[in-house]
């Protein structure tokens, strides 16, 4: 039994296989409001609404693997259970659907780094259950990245633990000059009218087309003051995309802060808004777009030409 919720309606706690990985024995319990909680050693603790659970029963393994990666990595970062709903699950899948080999390597190093209280410590890392932490599709793929990292002198490991070398720590700590390679901060208005511009334009251009790691501060969970989180994330990024459509002052500030750090800034703007661009930034070349599809094509071309050159 993988995730058939008729049983959960009859009892409060049951033992069954995880709904996402469909392998590991998992404890599941029913809460109020048709939300179910799983405890899985592979996928981590997560909450899933009953409507979504029913909709996902026929989904292919690849989609469920992306959700498993999302819930496990969320818990690894935040130390609390992720919640999957009918509103957010597609975005969760998209975040883990097209992960490049270099991004998987970085995820491996970052995960071990988060588990280390100090350099030299050997935290537990079991490829048999921890492979969702790096978006790997299997323990064997995870072993490939562990072997590759060891060959490159980035870590030491045995079957149950791993430790970053100094070279490994240097890979995940941003440098003053260039930030973390492949990481892109997206500054834009959070107005609902621009949701499609991000979801179907900026995000797939960066993530799918260019194998970058886009970061938008309203879509990451944190306990910090929002202004502190923004500045910290900009310091970590390799470059910044600033969409000035609707001309929010915060977008101009964030782009200026990135430029002051020496980070490349790619400016974008919807055609109808171009005449309103601020005087001080008007001289910069803007990616001018009509539709989200147009934005995706033009932005991916600009990233390839100026960042991936």
Compute the Cα dihedral for 298, 302, 308, 309 and give only its sign: positive
Chain segment 252-296, per-residue pLDDT in tens: 999 999 999 889 999 999 999 999 998 778 888 999 999 999 999
Higher pLDDT, 140 or 50: 140
Evaluate if residue 117 carries a pLDDT over 70.
yes
Residue ranges in the chain assigned as alpha helix (H): 50-56, 61-78, 89-94, 101-115, 127-130, 139-151, 166-172, 195-197, 203-204, 226-236, 249-260, 292-306
Range in 132-146, 150-164, 208-222 with the lowest mean pLDDT: 208-222
| pLDDT value of position 199 | 92
Overall size of the chain counted in residues: 309
Share of the chain above pLDDT 70, in %: 88
- If pLDDT is split at 50, 70 and 90, which confidence band does 5 have? very low
The Cα–Cα gap between 161 and 184 comes to 31
- If pLDDT is split at 50, 70 and 90, which confidence band does 14 have? very low
Strand partners, 266: 241
Q: Is 0.75 topped by the overall pTM?
A: no
For the domain made up of 183-306, the CATH class stated in words is: alpha beta
Do the first three CATH levels of 101-172 and 183-306 match, i.e. the same topology? no
CATH of 101-172, one of 1.10.10, 2.40.50, 3.40.50, 1.20.140: 1.10.10
CB atoms within 10 A of CB 47: 16
Question: What residue ranges do the domains of the chain occupy?
Answer: 13-94, 101-172, 183-306
């Amino acid at each position: 039994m993988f995730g058939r919720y008729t049983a959960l309606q009859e009892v409060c706690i049951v033992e069954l296989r995880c709904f996402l990985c469909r392998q590991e024995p998992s404890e599941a319990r029913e809460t109020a409001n048709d939300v179910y909680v799983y405890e899985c050693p592979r996928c981590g603790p997560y909450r899933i609404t009953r409507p979504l659970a029913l909709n996902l029963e026929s989904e292919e393994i690849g989609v469920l693997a992306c959700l498993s990666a999302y819930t496990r990595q969320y818990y690894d970062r935040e130390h609390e259970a992720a919640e999957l709903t009918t509103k957010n699950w597609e975005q969760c899948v998209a975040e883990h659907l097209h992960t490049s080999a270099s991004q998987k390597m970085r995820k491996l190093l970052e995960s071990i780094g988060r588990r280390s209280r100090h350099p030299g410590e050997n935290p537990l890392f079991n490829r048999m259950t921890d492979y969702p932490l790096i978006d790997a599709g299997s323990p064997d793929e995870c072993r490939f990245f562990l072997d590759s990292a060891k060959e490159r002198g980035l870590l030491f490991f045995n079957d149950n633990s791993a430790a970053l070398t100094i070279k490994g720590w240097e890979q995940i700590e941003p440098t003053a000059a260039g930030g973390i390679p492949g990481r892109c901060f997206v500054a834009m208005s959070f107005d609902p009218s621009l949701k499609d511009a991000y979801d179907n334009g900026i995000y797939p251009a960066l993530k799918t087309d260019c194998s970058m790691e886009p970061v938008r501060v309203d879509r990451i969970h944190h306990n910090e003051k929002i202004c502190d989180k923004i500045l910290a994330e900009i310091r970590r990024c390799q470059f910044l995309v600033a969409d000035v459509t609707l001309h929010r002052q915060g977008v101009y500030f964030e782009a200026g802060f990135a430029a002051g750090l020496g980070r490349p800034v790619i400016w974008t703007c919807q055609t109808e808004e171009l005449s309103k661009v601020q005087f001080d930034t008007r001289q910069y070349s803007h990616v001018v777009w009509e539709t989200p599809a147009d934005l995706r094509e033009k932005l991916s071309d600009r990233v390839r030409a100026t960042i991936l050159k």
